[in-house]
Amino acid sequence: MAVSTMASNPILAVHRPGLNRVNMVQPQQQVVLDHPQTKTPNRATRLAESLSQLLHLHIEPPSRAAVQQVNWDLHNEEKHSTPPLSPKEDISGKWREIQGSRDWDIILDPLHPWLRREIVKYGEFAQATYDAFDYDSFSEYCGSCRYNRNKLFEQLGLTRHGYKVTKYIYAMSHIELPRWLEKSHVTDTWSRDSNWIGYVAVSDDEETHRIGRRDIVVAWRGTVAPCEWYEDFQRDMEPIGIGESKVEHGFLSIYTSKNDATRYNKSSASEQVMTEIIKLVQLYRGNGEEVSLTITGHSLGGALALLNAYEAAATIPNLPISVISFGAPRVGNNAFKEELHQMGVKTLRVVVKQDWVPKMPGLLFNEGLQVFDQIRGKKLEWVYTHVGAELALDVSSSPYLKRGMNLLGFHSLETYLHLVDGYLNGTTPFRADARRDVALVNKQCDMLVDELRIPHCWYQLANKGLVCNAHGRWVKPKRDPDDIPSPIRETHNHHALEIEMQMYNVNALSPLCSA
């Protein structure tokens, strides 16, 4: 099946005349995972929840007695001698439901273990965009990825997931953002305009067999300092597509900005990512494979993931598209939400109740006002609205996390992944057999109880990036040449990947030709 391509700025004209967007949705396989049925809230409960949301109140359940006293010495000894990963299951027969074909109806609460593992997998792909990002303003490569795409997963210990990075994505913006666009203090830098914002990866043969389809993943990076972008992302919404959909100006600027005078953003992030997605879809569909697109991101990355999903759904017919976001803000109005729904995009928002970022923009005027729609008889198209299903997590459910106010810790992606790993349902305490390494929570914040004896903000380069040279002086090391950002090298690597894929196709078809 041919996939349509787009000429210039695709996000501004993503719908073609006569296109029936409802028919773009691929029929979903109706497979129900084994799970106990959950009760539907009654009308009074729904009204209470709506008013609570409107007023931004969180009505907490009674104190959980199950958050009990822990023998930390015994706990540490037991946890340190067990693997931090659960076994992989073959989900090939039920992947559509895990990816949201039924909007995660009965597998979210209680959380099905297969879905939990997939959420954590995609969350770790999003976390990689932080762990490999060069934050050092004294580095001439500040704002880039520390490693080339062939080494990214190996350096971060993510090869176990069975994906290969095929493309890096760079972004710029025409609005002033104080900390989103990290810039080097060094005069001669790799780029004055662009930042590394994410990557595209694709499942290998083994993982493809396990999950039942060839999975293309796009991971988007969030803000460096999320507390600083609130003022920048309070601008008016602007139209997207050809209908009534509108999205926040700052998010759209990052996604679509480009400049011929730059090295890395002669094409926008939108154009970079869509070119790669279209190429991969054509390649694997041409091999007769079933293909899915899963887009993930944290914070700002979650907002960019929605914009990416909107464009991909409007461009590539019959492609199953899921968004798994963490701590993401609102992006657009109700029309934007409805269009995504009509196009078949499945969105799962993972949200920590104590995190303030998902409440923005639209702290006061948001989807909570829709309780008055029936009275007014008209949709409030000027308010921000969340999209999709929600998995709500609570910091107080974990005995490993400190109590009290910690805005950075509440928003940290590692806190999110810790809470997902321990989540069973909305009323059950943290599960005792959670396996993910608790120490990861304190990588870039101070959220773990002191009894665990894990230093806060421990994740950094050894000696903060300085090395002792042959003369005994401490200096900043030079990067491996393969890890230095280079548009020419990335283009060359991209062509090499295409040749590698073509050779793979020839080898895969040769037994058929000789039969």
Cα separation, 215 vs 289, in Å, equals 10
Which residues are marked as active site?
299, 355, 411
Cα separation, 277 vs 84, in Å, equals 32
Cα separation, 495 vs 491, in Å, equals 6
> How much of the chain is in helix, strand and coil states, percent to nearest 5?
40, 15, 50
Cα separation, 251 vs 505, in Å, equals 38
Of 415, 423, 420, nearest to 447 by C-alpha is 415
CB 433 within 8 A of CB 459: no
Tell me how far CA of residue 124 lies from CA of 186, 337, 420, 438, 440, in angstroms. 31, 26, 12, 14, 11
Phi first, then psi, for residue 420 (nearest 5°) are -60, -45
Cα separation, 220 vs 312, in Å, equals 15
Phi first, then psi, for residue 264 (nearest 5°) are -110, -10
What is the distance, to the nearest Å, from the Cα of residue 361 to the centroid of all Cα atoms in its chain?
19
Check the CA dihedral 380-384-388-393 and report its sign: negative
Neighbouring residues of 489: CB distance < 8 A, sequence distance ≥ 6? 148, 482
Of 161, 179, 170, nearest to 262 by C-alpha is 170
